[in-house]
Structure 1
Amino acid sequence: MNSPSNMPVSNPAAIVTGGGSGIGAAIASHVARTGTPVVVADNNLDRAQETTKRIADAGGESTAVHTEVTDPKSLKGAVDATLDRYGALRYAVNDVGLGHVGPFIAELSDEDWRKVIDVNLTSVFYGIRAVIPAMAAAGGGAIVNVASVAGVWATAGNSAYVTAKHGLIGLTKAAALEYGPDGIRVNVVGPGYVDTPLMRRDVSPARRAAMSARTAVGRLGDPEDVAEVVGFLLSDAARFVTGALYMADGGFTTGYEGAALEWL
């Protein structure tokens, strides 16, 4: 991956939160294949190490770091670990999310509201804030946040998640404006239904088939489908792209009108 930089460094790295599984693991592996060292930050160190092993087996360089994304000190620790090992940080992907389908607003508890907002939105604010100083010191960089189709439409019984993902898109735009002068680009990806191990565990084959039918392309996404979009946004090929939302949903949001999403 070519570094978007006016200050060359020897080995600029990337941080991928949520890199231990699913879309995050695919993103970490994709970035590593470009020759960029990757810090796989996850709240499950075993899963993060599984990702780093796959990267190593493919000839890439990576490090696993236990990280709690709702804890600013933990995120700062991940950045410090990156700088200690690789000397510079140039790329960051915020890919931690928590789905929630439940009561309508009048019955939604304070605890559930805060938990969903904290994991899906506040954690990304913390993540951006943690990496900005290192990126600015390195002469620039690129951040990609991972939202959802729930960032552009709403469903009943999903108010906290919808609010968080809409807010994430707004946060991305604000960060792009604030840090563009520092050579830092900030974009956001909106995945739709993606066939992850978690989905295969929790969603029946019949339900997955119904999800596929709702897309314009007639299939579920693969984690690599999202990873390739993220890789583009991190790369120099997207050097004039910032503050943008890229949907990776197989055309799901182009016109489907249906019931509430049971699993996103």
Structure 2
Amino acid sequence: MEVKNKIVIVTGAGSGIGRATAIHFAKHGATVVVSDINLEKAQKVSEEIVTNKGNALPIKANVAKYEEVENLIKETVSEFGKLDVIVNNAGIGPHLLKTHESTLKDWERVISVNQTGVFYCMKVALNQFLEQGYGNIVNIASLAGLKASPNNISYSASKFAVVGMTKSAAMEYATKNIRVNAVCPGYTESALLNQLINAKPEMDAILKSVIPMKRYGKAIEIADAVVWLASDNTRFITGQTITLDGGTSL
């Protein structure tokens, strides 16, 4: 995939899909800014990339804070002179409750990261992309942003929003050499999935029963699609949501 020498930011890159995506970009020759709210985790992923002869820079950022997003992109451009791609992956899961039982605190916590955080990253990155004349955004949405997801109101709302923001921005900047796409993973091996299964162990069998492939996705499988969308191999693709769910949406 044609991402060699591209400067790429991956948010929430300290673990899970973000970590796999950062490493995958580096393997294909990109320079990766490994961003995470947990600097220690970001540093470990960055060190792993450098150990394997890749290029990486760890930067701490809480995407729910606008000034930290501004600093993330400012620092990246200051260090490398440009920004080619931003992967908006940072996200958190909710407490699994029915809508009427959900707390205001939980709603605000999830929306601030999963929805507002993506908006902040898109807004600041787009200003940079418009200035330099090109750019590429890949948002990490979810199957929960395409299909009903009970006991999951805040997460579902946030991911439906990411799909909508992706499509709206893709139309706005299609003539500006800026592409905006999203991937919608189904049940994928991750901290969020572990959180669900730990809370309700019976969910493991239930979830696998609705996946035609009878297994969870792997983070590297999601990363592969992200790097592909960010590459020059997909220059005529924008505004799309690619679903990776082992057939669950069927």
TM-score by length of 2: 0.92
Select the residue among 37, 40, 54 that pairs with 1:46. 40
Partner residue, 1:260: none
Partner residue, 1:217: 213
- The answer as to whether partners of 1:12 and 1:86 remain within 8 angstroms in 2 is no
Q: How far, CA to CA, are the matches of 2:107 and 2:32 in structure 1?
A: 32
1:244 maps onto 2:240 in alignment: yes
Select the residue among 119, 131, 135 that pairs with 2:113. 119
| Cα distance per residue 1:163-193 (max 9 Å; x no partner) | 1111110000011111112111000111111
**Number of equivalent positions:** 248
- The answer as to whether partners of 2:182 and 2:242 remain within 8 angstroms in 1 is yes
The letter of the residue matching 1:2 is: E
TM-superposed CA distance for 1:134, in Å, is: 1.8
1:26 maps onto 2:26 in alignment: no
Partner residue, 1:158: 152
TM-superposed CA distance for 1:139, in Å, is: 2.5
- The answer as to whether partners of 1:144 and 1:230 remain within 8 angstroms in 2 is yes
Q: How far, CA to CA, are the matches of 1:64 and 1:185 in structure 2?
A: 25
User: What are the within-5 Å matches in structure 2 for residues 71-220 of structure 1?
Assistant: 71-196=65-190, 199-200=193-194, 203=197, 207-220=203-216
- The answer as to whether partners of 2:196 and 2:203 remain within 8 angstroms in 1 is no
| Cα distance per residue 1:27-68 (max 9 Å; x no partner) | 111111121111011000010011111111221100000001
The letter of the residue matching 2:34 is: V
TM-superposed CA distance for 1:72, in Å, is: 0.8
User: What are the within-5 Å matches in structure 2 for residues 55-74 of structure 1?
Assistant: 55-74=49-68
| Cα distance per residue 1:13-36 (max 9 Å; x no partner) | 110000010000001111111211
- The answer as to whether partners of 1:11 and 1:87 remain within 8 angstroms in 2 is no
- The answer as to whether partners of 2:91 and 2:114 remain within 8 angstroms in 1 is yes
Query: Runs of 5+ in structure 2 lacking a partner?
Result: none
Select the residue among 222, 229, 233 that pairs with 2:225. 229
The letter of the residue matching 1:40 is: V
| Cα distance per residue 1:120-160 (max 9 Å; x no partner) | 11110001011112222332121100011110112332211
1:145 counterpart SS class: strand
TM-score by length of 1: 0.87
Query: Runs of 5+ in structure 1 lacking a partner?
Result: 4-9, 255-264
- The answer as to whether partners of 2:5 and 2:29 remain within 8 angstroms in 1 is no
2:173 counterpart SS class: helix
